Structure 1
Amino acid sequence: MGRQPNLYSFADVDNDLVPNLRKFVLDAQNEAFKRHDVFRVAVSGGSLPKTLAKALLAPSSGEDDKVDFSKWEVFYADERCVPLTHEDSNHKLVQEEWLNKIPSDMAQPKVFTIDEKHLEDAQEMAEEYEKRLVAVFAARDSVRLPQFDLLLLGCGPDGHTCSLFPEHPLLRETDAWVLSIADSPKPPAKRITLSLPVVLAGTKIGFVATGGGKKEILKKIFETEDGSKLPCGLVNEGAGEKVSWFCDQAATEGVAFPRRGSVI
């Protein structure tokens, strides 16, 4: 039982899920500061940045509840091979929903974006982004995998996360840190993504999945053999209790997997 992921289901996103997500992220931040005085986090796009911004930009309630963006290093769990100003760019989304809303009296986190020089070649872009990780996390030959302090991910209706899609050959990659994909089932086709081993190596992993549109896939992921082989299911299986799911009741309706009360 100790290896199982944590499933949280909240009555209301803004009043219940958001403050619990804040506590989860700030606990990870404070633990990371004790370890190495920096907080390295990888984020996805989708609906996550908006929920994350609500959590992180809420007023502080005390010493343990302070966000210190000056020591944050933000990476992308996946990114599309498009300009940073393009509608499909995860960076543009994160910038608009979160970074641009950080008040002027707070520091800005350091953000590692893709290099737009490689938009035409996803493989080159993946290699260049991996070099950036190597420079931050240590020399490639001394560290088998980078260890993010926290990964904040979403769950697609097909059970994909990052740009790791069901039954895709990329799921079998064991060595590379950053992978390229040229045939994404979701447009745009060309993307880069963290590999599954990098996701599993994270100190903590948080999924945010809300709304009734997620209940079928969550039921599959948490309750079926097939679901455990989907990318989100593989993260649950491989990282166990390091994984926490932040959901609302609409997303967990009919899911029999045991819920936890709250982080707070």
Structure 2
Amino acid sequence: MAEFTTEKRVVVRPDPAHVARSVATRVLSRLGKRGRAGLVSHVSLTGGVMGGVVLRAIADHPKRDDVDWSLVHFWWSDERFLPREHRDRNERVGRTTLFDHIDVPAENIHPIPASDAGIDMDAAAEAYERELARFADEETGNPWPSFQITFLGVGPDGHIASLFPDRPEIQVTDRAVVAVRDSPKPPSERITMTRPVINSAVRVWMVLAGADKAAALGLVLAGASYDSVPAAGAKGRRRTIIFVDEAAASQVPPELIDGEY
């Protein structure tokens, strides 16, 4: 029988809409509190269906404008290497669902270069590394920002960002950003942050919904290897929360569900 770990807290809501509202309330509360203290926050966003649903919930939230967005910087843990205006670009989803609706300075949005930016994938990955390094965290010595929150989606295969099971990218620890070719999930060309960057975040919040994610969530909680189930190795320095709907939580032991968070 699998031995479960309790270091990850699981928060269950009835459906995807309730999950998104719950996440939106928490992120706005945290960013608002930091803003009132004059603190800058770096947030790493995720793509996928739930990534977009969460951003829309933030944009529609009644406390959206309580945040000083001039103190918030947005990044992406991964991106599809497509033209900037392609509908499948995570950046475009971010613009249309959230950034067009809040007063965030353009210079606070840090997209991964698109395929029509005039550089190849490797150069795009290097360019994003340099952009991250502009906001290097002096306290930890990492050549990237200290992310207050890193959002992650989780695929049915357990992948996070564009780190897929049993692929070489998951083992890279000497780079902050790498190109991904022949991705098992289309589109085949992607750019992703690496494991050290993801796990350096103060808080990692995984957001997933649907019965097709239940098996992956079970493996995450059972402590599967990072190589075979990348989501199992994702963890924040201070806290790791997994926000799920009831369908995705069907295989979660009741003792691991946090009813108060």
Q: Same fold (TM over 0.5)?
A: yes
Residue 133 to residue 50, structure 1, CA distance change in 2 (3 Å): same
* Other structure's SS at 1:207 match: strand
Closer/same/farther in 2, CA of residues 51 and 91 from structure 1, 3 Å limit: same
Q: Please identify, of 26-35 and 167-176, the stretch whose mean Cα deviation from structure 2 is larger.
A: 26-35
Q: Which residue of 2 aligns with 1:6?
A: 9
**Contact 1:122 1:182 (C-alpha < 8 Å) held by counterparts:** no
2:78–2:190 contact (8 Å) kept in structure 1? yes
The answer to whether the 8 A contact 2:45-2:74 is kept is: yes
Aligned with 1:107 (options 99, 103, 115): 103
* Residue equivalent to 1:246: 243
**Which ranges of structure 2 fall in alignment gaps of 5 or more residues?**
none
* 2: CA distance, partners of 1:122 / 1:58: 36
Q: Do 2:15 and 2:209's aligned partners in 1 also have CA atoms closer than 8 Å?
A: no
1:54 to 50, 53, 57: 57
Which residue of the partner structure matches residue 70 of structure 2? 70
Alpha-carbon separation, structure 2, partners of 1:10 and 1:151: 20
Runs of 4+ in 1 over 4 A off after TM superposition: 117-120, 226-229
- Judging by fraction of residues, say which structure has more helix: 1
Letter paired with 1:59:
P
The within-5 A match list for 1:1-264 is 4-14=7-17, 16-30=18-32, 32-33=34-35, 37-47=39-49, 48-60=51-63, 66-100=66-100, 102=101, 106-109=102-105, 110-116=108-114, 121-137=120-136, 142-223=141-222, 225=224, 229-236=228-235, 239=236, 242-256=239-253, 258-263=256-261
Are the structure 2 counterparts of residues 138 and 246 from structure 1 closer, same or farther at C-alpha, using a change threshold of 3 Å? Answer: closer
User: Which segment drifts farther, 217-226 or 153-162?
Assistant: 217-226
Q: Which moved more, 1:223-232 or 1:158-167?
A: 223-232
Provide the secondary structure at the position in 2 that maps to 1:137: coil
Secondary structure of the corresponding residue to residue 247 of structure 2: helix
Contact 1:83 1:119 in 2 (8 A): no
User: What do the CA deviations read for 1:6-46 (whole angstroms, capped 9, x no partner)?
Assistant: 111112443x4234212321343246447762111110111
Structure 1 length as normaliser, TM-score? 0.84
> Unpaired runs of 5+ in structure 1?
none
Q: CA RMSD in A?
A: 2.8
Normalised to the residue count of structure 2, the TM-score between the two structures is: 0.85
Whole-angstrom distance in 2 between the partners of 1:118 and 1:198: 24
Farther-moved stretch of structure 1 (181-190 vs 122-131):
181-190
**Number of residue pairs aligned between Structure 1 and Structure 2:** 252
Q: 1:3 to 1:133 in 2, by over 3 A?
A: farther
